[in-house]
Amino acid sequence: MTSKNKDAVVAAFKTLTARARFLCDGGTPPDLGIGEPPPTVRYWARWSNRMD
């Protein structure tokens, strides 16, 4: 793995963990221009079914 690839992987991991922390704290994803984001409760209900 080159240092450029390593830096990209580290940056992606930091972004993903920050996003997960935001959502776990009750945050709602921003509208990305493709419609309203799902309600947080419905969002986590979908994922909780996958983690059983």
pLDDT of residue 13: 87
User: By C-alpha distance, which of 13, 38, 11 is closest to 47?
Assistant: 38
pLDDT tens track for 1-52: 677 789 889 888 888 888 888 878 777 766 566 655 555 656 555 555 555 4
Contact 17, 23 (CB under 8 A): no
Could you give the angle at the alpha carbon of 17 between the alpha carbons of 12 and 18, nearest 5°? Answer: 100
In eight-state DSSP terms, residue 14 is H
How far is residue 37's CA from residue 48's CA, in Å, rounded to a whole number? 18
